[in-house]
A and B are shown apart, each in its own frame.
Chain A
Amino acid sequence: MKVNFLSTVLFFFISCFSTLDAACQLNNSPNGSIKISFINTLNSVPIILDAVNYTNCWNENFTISALKYYISNVQFKTSNKKSIKEKNSYHLIDEENIVSKSFLCTVLPGNYLTLSFLIGVDSIKNVSGAQTDALDPLNSMFWTWNSGYIMFKLEGNSPNSTIVNNKIEYHIGGFAGTNNVLRQVELNLENNKALININSITEIVVQADVGKLWNAVHELKISQTPVCSTPGAPAAGIADNYSKAFTVIKIIN
């Protein structure tokens, strides 16, 4: 009886351990978390959709009714030269949806030196058929006439716009060839020191300044280009501009 009892209990524990395997792994390699938050601004002041009249560097007035963009392939470099990639890393930052403006990455503890990401959705996912979550075509960020994601979208109105209802509409996409609009951004974290500890959350606050859209690299005037909604050289130029919009403004350890 004694043997029976012991072996049963032993069996019980062994089977428990094997089913708890997944949970155990978490305990063996403790993780910290990095929360990345995006603040969309104009000249460093957070944007308010529709309600506020803005002026760009060309003295053109405009309002913004929608601002959305993809951040994908998030990656960190640590002080010991390790690259850490977020798995299934696709995020749609939508100014209208507060929840969408930050996300959490589970990472190993350490000293993090850089944060990098792609503005847009990598080319593979543009040709791989129906996707879900951030990449769901329900999000109105997928072109139906020319398959591919709209990587960056800004819509609004301006008296300087020459088209119907004074609309401005920048739907920036295109993932192939010379007019590829995918832009890699690498941000330095050293100044503010991102130290990730076990079981705590470090927040990296990234500012995306729409002011850069108009002249960071190329001139973009509403009066000349109120709409850009096809892949091509103008779209690639606009992508150059907004690729300069991202800076780390704060790290909260």
Chain B
Amino acid sequence: MKIKIIISLVVIVMLATAFIYKAPPHKLTYLKLFIPKGWPKPATDIFVTNPLTEEGFVLGKKLFYDGRLSKDGNFPCSSCHQQFAAFSTYGHDYSHGFNNSLTKRNAPGLFNLAWQKAMHWDGGINNIEVQPLTPITAPNEMAETLFNILIKLKVDTAYVRLFKAAFKDGVINSQHMLKALAQFTGSIQSYNSKYDKVKRGEDSFTVSEKMGYKTFLDKCNSCHTEPLFTDNSFRNNGLTLNFKLPDSGRMTITGNPTDLYKFKVPSLRNCSVTLPYMHDGRMFSLGKVIDHYRKGIDTTQATLDTLLKKGLFISDQERIDLLSFLYALKDSEMLRDPRFIQANDILLPVNYDH
């Protein structure tokens, strides 16, 4: 009898421990990409295979601002993608990279990336997650290797903690690093410009902005289509050839001669702070850009977009109003959003330790 009781007890204790002792659950704070009213569905499913979480976002942000992702520590993503410039490089036609080198194209702003099917001026990047491989390994950008970066991250206890918080198995590998970066860059959204507020009925245009909007819809909207201000296509907008730094554009990727000198139609959101303009940053003001469409188009190019064959007729008054409208596309809330500002490391880890 006694022995039976003992066996029963042992069994019960074993069972109880088996049930009670479970690894503590891995808690993730899921976030949703906000889809503004009236916008099309995102063109990509970036957060389907890479669920957006607060933990992933926080890790991605730290990586984005960390110079250790570059060879000499001086070129974090944020050195070329500055928040106050809508994450473009303010005032630089080409951005500075490792060892006094320069990039070969103008750094675009980063926002609403989930709506962008392909990245880079030539559309060569087919998924936001693999985009960072380009700047990281390019000798004229961050000039580093994935291998070295992973070594640097693995010995840093803050990263060990952040990777553990963001991913179930907590492994520090290239996949997790890239997914976290995508969670940060993919979360940068712009939908609070004056234009957006007018559309939502929270604000109203000045007379000049209103006239400019009309001209815009008439002359620009077929390529820079609202509400994203791009139709995501590749086109030749008639820039004269840049002989110092020739760039075939989209044809580099497709090999198709009909794509020669075609570039991605850039979004015009925040364009008042993303100067200079075009893939090679050749124009330093929006006035110059409009003048390009008025009288600067190189009509000799075979792949010139048919909409621009005759240039665009824009009167001086229309030019002024158009500029007013373009300024109304600035999204000050995004440019100042504290969520995107470099985090203070000292305040960070504590609650990411589960």
Q: Which residues of A line the B interface, CB within 8 A?
A: 1, 4-5, 8-9, 11-12, 15, 19, 126-132, 136-138, 142, 144-148, 179, 230-232
Contacts and interface: CB of A to CB of B under 8 A. Distances in A.
Of the listed residues A4, A126, A127, A146, the one surrounded by the most CB atoms of chain B closer than 10 A to its CB is A146
A8 B13 CA distance: 11
Interface of B: 1, 4-5, 7-8, 11-12, 14-15, 18, 46, 49-50, 124-130, 133-134, 137-138, 146-147, 150, 173-175, 178-179, 182, 252-253, 255
B50 A129 contact: yes
A245 B315 CA distance: 66
Nearest to B138: A144
Given A137-B146, A147-B130, 17 more contacts: A1-B5, A8-B8, A129-B46, A129-B50, A129-B179, A130-B127, A130-B178, A130-B179, A132-B174, A136-B173, A137-B133, A138-B150, A142-B130, A144-B137, A145-B134, A146-B252, A179-B255
A138 B147 contact: yes
Contacts of B182: 129-130
A12 B49 contact: no
A147 B11 contact: no
A230 B125 CA distance: 14
A126 B255 contact: no
Given A129-B127, A138-B147, A15 B138 contact: no
A1 B173 CA distance: 56
B7 to A, nearest CB: 7
A128 to B, nearest CB: 7
B348 to A, nearest CB: 24
A129 B12 contact: no
B231 to A, nearest CB: 21
Contacts of B147: 138
Contacts of A129: 46, 49-50, 127-130, 178-179, 182
Contacts of A132: 173-175
Contacts of B128: 129
B174 A147 contact: no
A5 B130 CA distance: 60
Contact of B15 (A12, A130, A137): A12
Given A129-B50, A129-B178, A146 B129 contact: no
Which of B150, B253, B255 gathers most chain A CB within 10 Å? B255
B174 A5 contact: no
Given A126-B126, A129-B129, A232 B174 contact: no
A8 B11 contact: yes
B126 A147 contact: yes
Contacts of A9: 7, 11
A148 B126 contact: yes
B184 to A, nearest CB: 14
A127 B126 contact: yes
Given A4-B8, A129-B182, A130-B178, A145 B127 contact: no
Given A5-B7, A12-B15, A145-B134, A130 B129 contact: yes
Contacts of A148: 126
B45 to A, nearest CB: 10
27 contacts: A1-B1, A5-B4, A8-B11, A9-B7, A15-B15, A19-B18, A127-B126, A127-B127, A128-B127, A129-B50, A129-B127, A129-B128, A129-B129, A129-B178, A130-B127, A130-B130, A130-B175, A130-B179, A130-B182, A131-B175, A132-B175, A138-B150, A142-B130, A142-B133, A146-B252, A146-B253, A147-B127
Contacts of A12: 11, 14-15
A118 B253 CA distance: 24
A148 to B, nearest CB: 7
A5 B8 CA distance: 6
A234 to B, nearest CB: 10
A130 B178 CA distance: 6
B121 to A, nearest CB: 12
A250 B130 CA distance: 40
B69 to A, nearest CB: 14
Contacts of B5: 1
Nearest to A132: B175
B4 A1 contact: yes
B118 to A, nearest CB: 9
Contact of A11 (B15, B133, B150, B255): B15
Contacts of B124: 145-147
Contact of A128 (B8, B49, B146, B253): B49
A5 B128 CA distance: 60
Contacts of B137: 144
B82 to A, nearest CB: 23
Closest 5 CB pairs of A and B: A129-B129, A130-B178, A132-B175, A130-B129, A147-B126
A8 B12 contact: yes
Nearest to B136: A144
A13 to B, nearest CB: 10
Contacts of A232: 255
Nearest to B7: A5
Contacts of B126: 126-127, 147-148
